[in-house]
Each structure stands twice: as structure tokens, then as C-alpha cells.
Chain A
């Protein structure tokens, strides 16, 4: 049984993926990160469909970092799917996005998001934010028991 994925990063921008991974590794949050590049792939991963048929359904990530603006299925739709499915709704989802749009934030919380981080332009601030995020959700926060 492979190691459980700790973080699912949903991000279409490869630069952002690299920077996010850099920040996460710099802060030694986790090296068990799976990256998907759009909303559809994210859902396939979580629900073991499409390219992820055969993935062990019970091995859920401890955290989903979700970009808002995504190809195919956007972040809010992914969030809605996660939060409306009993299999996934307990997974903490943190929006990691460039958008400061109020209605995006409000919609996210309405859909049950667990955190909302506006990616700062300043990379130092971004590092700081990712570090805090990893600490809280992976180390401090008591994760819900995996459903069987």
C-alpha cells in the first residue's frame, strides 16, 4: 500500500505549482503531495474515476489546496462536489488563489471551505502563508477519522 497522499494540490499554473511545492518543501510540510492540473482531474482523483480508476478510494488526502480558477471544472464546482459527497466532505479544503473577489470568498465559505488564502505577490509572504497553512492543517489540526 503506497504511502497515503497528504496534500492534493489543484493548480493549473505550472509556475505556481513549482513555487507552491518549493514553499511546501522549504517548510518541510510534506513530501507526499499530488498535483492535478484541472478540476476534472481533481474530481477523478478524489472519486477514483477516469485516469484514477483503481486508486484506493479509502486513501484520501489530508488536505486539498484548491485554486479557484481552473480549466474544465472551476474551483468552486470542485469544492461543491467535495463538500456535497459524504466520502469527501470531511477533507479540509483550503482555497489558494489570487482572487480577492469578495463574492469568491463568500461563495467558498458558503460551500463549506475550510480556509481561504490569497496568494500574495511577494514570495516571502507566500512562503509564510504556506508554512502556516501546512502547520495548521497537517500538524495541529486533528484530522477526522477516515471513513471505512
Chain B
């Protein structure tokens, strides 16, 4: 105040001012209206003096003030502080000691006073402690409020600096004004690098649900905008960001800028996406297992199902190749692209194609049983298969990233599953590889099962078919047998009727012819010329011959209908008896006949008697012209089979007619040379055949004939 006064004095006319200073009234007025006041009190606080401005500062009249203790006015909380200042002042006389405290105003309010204690107790003119003080309540309140504001601002700044969310403010022109630490970390740009630049350039925000324009319009209308966006980092990768933005407006309501608080939710989104994917895949696996169980065992259905599911689930194109039977190729058996146009294309290009085993991504996967991964791929492998035009189109469809996994069953590789992603920037991941392999293992098993099922089915079908065929054949056979049996029975009956009429009706006229011829010859011989007699005799001869033919024919036909009466017996006596029956008694000529040991045999005795009779009678007949006829009957093993023979040295026959030898009514000699009907050997052959045996002959003209016959390969006769 003195300084101020001095200053004032200096700036005004010093002479007049000085003069005024001489006046006590002037001085008193000045002191009364001063904002400063002086109090002098004793060492114990007793107020000795109050300056004239005391009422102006504290509201008390001097009379209310002087003579009181200063501590009566001081705020209880400040008494200790003032006591401290006072004691310090007492210890250091003449030194100015500042002090501040709340003092009760006469109106009851507390006023902040600041002052300076000067210990002038030793000054004889004063003898007290001088407190030069003033009211600074208003200034203090201002400072208090200002401090609070500063603290608040600091707090807010700290908040902005320390939150993990990026806080960015821009002007209306999107130029960046604020870029907090979190923004630096999140986006990779330092504040220095981006301040003043446009967020449009730096962040390249893409709104997921709407365009930039719409989002800004909405923000300006509502004043705020919240939602997910993607934003670019300094390294080019994109973040998924949850953004909360607000519009700033000036006093006139115009947009002055924007503030956004952005939180990086990429990890959350990725994790969520991954979880979704994992769930989707688990669901897909379960689904696929169920599908594989329900689509039925047809291989094609399984393959189609798998390429569709995998193509839709992982994307974008899925192909299954199976190793060909010769192991040289991988046959592309099923393929699918989830884009319809792409699907049409790959169906056309790849269907029924094959790629070489061991070559290329598919071939190597199949050969080594390893999964193959190509982050960035080209469709080169397919190129040899397709036209240039297709190649161009294929470029749009195929291959930014490829995965091939082998189809394994136990330790065998049966083919591959190939996945091709046509979307850029999305290379396959390890997860997808693992998933695909898991899926491929199931698929391989399903394919193998389908194939096994197929084989079993085929075998079964084959067997069922064969069984059905056999059943059919059996039925047909039974029917045919029944039919044939009926036919045979009918034929037999017819035959019986026929032979009956043959034996009865044909013989009767013959008998009449013979009988009447003979009666003529007997009763009218004398009336007949010799020629007529001879001709009547010829009639008789022929009727008798006709009778023999009929008899032979009947006995031949009877052979088929007679059951064999098989028994075991000595053959030699049978032959001897047959021979004896044939030879005239007494003998007409000398014949050398030997019968060897014929052992025992099994057969129909009566029929075998017929065989021997016929063969022996032939031998006798055809040796008739020989001066020394020789007939040998014997038995030998030919190729292990007991074989009987009748050998003669007769006229023999020309073997060029051998195939007619055993035919019915086949004769090798003229009737006037050797009698006979030509049925004898046919009968012999039939009897031998019915015993399961064979008969054959060897002959040389004029040297003789040998007939051989067996009774079955093992000597066993037909039952």
C-alpha cells in the first residue's frame, strides 16, 4: 500500500500531493478506505491498535476491536497456524512473517485474511507486533475454483491418455485434432504422424451395416453414432472396431468437429468367429456323420454329399479324387463349387477327368499320404486338361489358396480331398487343415464301407441271382422231368400198344400166308407146276423171315422197358450154356472153341445171356465157311477195366462201315449168304450200354472179327 502510495505520489504532482499528505483528515480518509488494515497486538494477542480501515475490512468498529484478543476472531481451525506464526515472529523480531487465516467478520461470515507479522515489540515507538493484513477471500475463492477446474482438466486429460480406447477428435473437415495414446497403440500411428491429417485417409473406416455417407448423416442428425466398423492400421491390416462417435457443434449449431471413442474388438470378433466356425464344424461333422449314415451306402451319394457340405462349409470348391484300380491315376469323381456358376464350370471341366498319380498337388498328396497346402496357388495342374478359353475362365474361379488331404483307410491311401478357395486374402489355416483331415478320415471310411457294401451287395446279388437261376432251372428241370416222364410214359404206353399190335396183328396175317401156302403145298402139290411150288415156298420163306424180324424188333424194343435185374454170378458157366444152346447136337462140323477164365461179374443174367448168345451165334455164323473155325472167348484188363471178348477167324467185315455195325437192321452180308435180321448187335450194344459198359469191334476182311465189351468202367453194372 505504501508502494502503491509512493507510485501514486510519483505519478501525480508531487508538490500538491505532499501538501495534502500534511492533512490528518486526508490521511485518515485514506486509511479508512484502504483495503488493507493494520492491527497491533501484544505478544499474547491482545489487540492494542486497529487502523481506521479496520471497520471497512472486518466490519467492526474500533471500539469493538481494540482491547480484544485477536484469537477471539480467528477460525478455530486456523488458531494453531496463527499461534505458530506468532511464536516465530516473537522469536525473530523485525522479520516479516507472512500469515493467513480465516477471521470472523462482524456480519458472522468468515473472511480469509492474509497478512505479515512484524515483531516491533522492542521498538519503543510501537511496542507491539504489527500485523499488516488484507481480505483475500475473493481471490482465494477464485484460485480455489480455478485449481478445481485445473484438476478436473488434468483428470480428464489423464483419463483420455490412459484409457485403452482410442479417442480421436477431428474438425468438421475430418482433420485429426486429438489422437490419444490408445489410438497410437491401436492404429500404429503416433499422434505426431496423424495430427492434421484426415481420418478418411488414415483410418479408411468401413461401416459394416451401411455406407460412410449414411453413417455420417445419421451421426449428424442424432448427434451420436454407435456400431461396428472396420478400420485400417498403419501396417495395412484391418481392425474390427466398436466405435462411439459424437458430433461437436459451435454456438451457432454448426458442426465443428467429431469425437469418437473406438475400441478394438478384432480379437473378440475373431474369437467369436472362430467359435462360430468351430461350432459350425463340429455341427458339420456331426451332421456329416449323420448324413453318411443316412444317405445310404451308395458311393456316389456319399461323394456328392461330402463335396457339397465341405464346399459350403469351408469353401469354395471341393473335389474328391479316388486312386484308379491300376494305381496310375486319380479319378476326379465328385466336385462342387459353392458359387453356382463356378460349380457349372468345374463340373464341366473336371467331371470324369483324371490326373496322374504322384504328380502335382493332388498326385503328391495321394502318393505320400500327406496333406498339401498352397497358400497362393494357380490352376496349373488342371491346365493340360482344359482348353485355353476354359483356362481363362478358370482363372476367375480357381485357386487363391489350396488344401489337399489324403483319404486314408488304415494305412492305405484311396484318394484325396481337395479344397480350393477362390476368395483372395483368405488363405487356409491350420485349423481348416486339421478339420479337413478329420473329415477326410471319416469320408475315407465311408467310401471304403460303401465299396465293401457294394462288393458284398454284388456278391449277394450274384449269389441271389445264381440261386434264383438255380431255383428256376431246378423248377424248369423238374417240370421238364415231369413233362418228359409223362411223355415217356405216354410214349411207353403207345409203344406198348404199338408192339402189342405188332406182335399180335402183324403176325396173324403172316401166319395165314404161311399156313395157307403150306396147305396148298400139302393138299394140292400134284396140281402145282414146279415153278408155282417154288414160288409158294418163297412166300413161306419171306413170311417166316418177316416173323423173325418182328420178333427181333420186339425184343429189341422190350430192352428199353425192362428193368435190370442185377446179380453177381460166375460168367463162364453162362457162356458155356449159351454156346451149348447154339451148337447143334450132334455137332455138324468141327469148331475149335476156347473159353477162358471170365471171373465173376455183376449184371442182368438173362440179358447178358442174350449178349453172349448173339455174339457167339455171330461168330459161329461167320466162321461157317472156314475150314478150321476158331472161336476164343476171354477176358482181359484194358486200361484197368475188365473187358470180355469174342474172337473168331471168320469172314470179318470192312471197317469203313464200322459206324453202321451196331445199327438196327444194319447188315454187312447178303441174306442168301448169312441169315439174320440185323438186330442182334443192336441188342447187344443196348444191353451193354444199359450196364454202363462199352462195346467195340476190330475186324479184318477174311481174317476174323473180335468183339470187346465191358460192363461199366469199374465193372459195376447199372442198378
Residues of A bordering B, CB below 8 Å: 13, 15-16, 19, 22, 68-69, 97-102, 104, 119-124, 126
Known: A101-B496, A119-B507. 8 other contacts (CB 8 A): A19-B515, A99-B504, A104-B500, A119-B508, A120-B511, A121-B546, A121-B547, A123-B511
Chain B residues, Cβ within 8 Å of A69: 500, 504-505
Q: How far is the CA of A126 from the CA of B543 in the complex (A)?
A: 14
Residue pair B518, A123 in contact (C-beta under 8 Å): yes
Q: Which of B499, B503, B510, B554 has the most CB of A within 10 A?
A: B503
Interface residues of B in 513-541 (CB under 8 A from A): 514-519, 540
Label chain B's interface by main secondary structure.
helix
Given contacts A19-B515, A22-B515, contact A99 B544 (CB under 8 A): no
Given contacts A121-B543, A122-B547, contact A15 B512 (CB under 8 A): yes
Q: How far is the CA of A122 from the CA of B500 in the complex (A)?
A: 19
Chain B residues, Cβ within 8 Å of A22: 515, 519
Q: How far is the CA of A122 from the CA of B518 in the complex (A)?
A: 9
Q: With CB as the reference atom, state the residue of chain B lying closest to A122.
A: B544
Give the contact-size bracket for chain B.
Answer: 20 to 34
Q: How far is the CA of A126 from the CA of B551 in the complex (A)?
A: 16
Q: Which of A100, A121, A124, A126 has the most CB of B within 10 A?
A: A121
Residues of B bordering A, CB below 8 Å: 496, 499-500, 503-505, 507-512, 514-519, 540, 543-544, 546-547, 551, 554, 558
Given contacts A100-B551, A100-B554, contact A119 B519 (CB under 8 A): no
Q: Which of A13, A98, A122, A126 has the most CB of B within 10 A?
A: A98
Chain B: minimal CB distance from A96 (Å): 11
Q: How far is the CA of A76 from the CA of B357 in the complex (A)?
A: 92
Chain B residues, Cβ within 8 Å of A119: 507-508, 511
- 6 pairs from A and B in contact (CB 8 Å cutoff): A15-B511, A16-B511, A69-B500, A98-B503, A100-B503, A121-B514
Chain A residues, Cβ within 8 Å of B551: 100
Chain B residues, Cβ within 8 Å of A99: 500, 503-504
Q: How far is the CA of A29 from the CA of B446 in the complex (A)?
A: 105
Chain B residues, Cβ within 8 Å of A19: 511-512, 515-516, 519
Q: How far is the CA of A99 from the CA of B544 in the complex (A)?
A: 16
Residue pair A68, B504 in contact (C-beta under 8 Å): yes
Chain A residues, Cβ within 8 Å of B510: 121
Q: How far is the CA of A110 from the CA of B255 in the complex (A)?
A: 142
Q: With CB as the reference atom, state the residue of chain B lying closest to A15.
A: B512
Q: How far is the CA of A22 from the CA of B544 in the complex (A)?
A: 19
Chain A residues, Cβ within 8 Å of B515: 15, 19, 22, 123, 126
Chain A residues, Cβ within 8 Å of B516: 15, 19
Our pick among B508, B518, B540, B554 for the contact of A16 (Cβ within 8 Å) is: B508
Q: How many A-B contacts are there with CB distance less than 8 Å?
A: 68
Chain A residues, Cβ within 8 Å of B519: 19, 22, 123
Q: With CB as the reference atom, state the residue of chain B lying closest to A69.
A: B504
For the complex of A and B, list the 7 residue pairs with the smallest distance between their C-beta atoms, beginning with the closest: A121-B547, A15-B512, A123-B515, A19-B515, A98-B504, A123-B518, A98-B507
Residue pair B507, A121 in contact (C-beta under 8 Å): yes
Q: With CB as the reference atom, state the residue of chain A lying closest to B543.
A: A121
Chain B: minimal CB distance from A27 (Å): 13
Q: How far is the CA of A80 from the CA of B500 in the complex (A)?
A: 20
Given contacts A122-B544, A122-B547, contact A15 B508 (CB under 8 A): yes
Residue pair B512, A97 in contact (C-beta under 8 Å): no
Q: How far is the CA of A16 from the CA of B508 in the complex (A)?
A: 7
Q: How far is the CA of A104 from the CA of B554 in the complex (A)?
A: 14
Chain A: minimal CB distance from B386 (Å): 89
Q: How far is the CA of A54 from the CA of B674 in the complex (A)?
A: 60
Q: With CB as the reference atom, state the residue of chain A lying closest to B509.
A: A15
Chain A residues, Cβ within 8 Å of B558: 102
Q: With CB as the reference atom, state the residue of chain B lying closest to A101.
A: B500
Chain B: minimal CB distance from A77 (Å): 16
Q: How far is the CA of A98 from the CA of B558 in the complex (A)?
A: 16
Given contacts A122-B547, A123-B518, A124-B518, contact A16 B503 (CB under 8 A): no
Q: With CB as the reference atom, state the residue of chain A lying closest to B561.
A: A102
Our pick among A68, A100, A101, A126 for the contact of B511 (Cβ within 8 Å) is: A126
Given contacts A13-B508, A15-B515, A19-B512, contact A120 B547 (CB under 8 A): yes
Q: With CB as the reference atom, state the residue of chain B lying closest to A103.
A: B496
Given contacts A16-B511, A122-B514, A123-B511, contact A101 B544 (CB under 8 A): no
Chain A residues, Cβ within 8 Å of B543: 121
Chain B: minimal CB distance from A129 (Å): 11
Chain A residues, Cβ within 8 Å of B499: 101
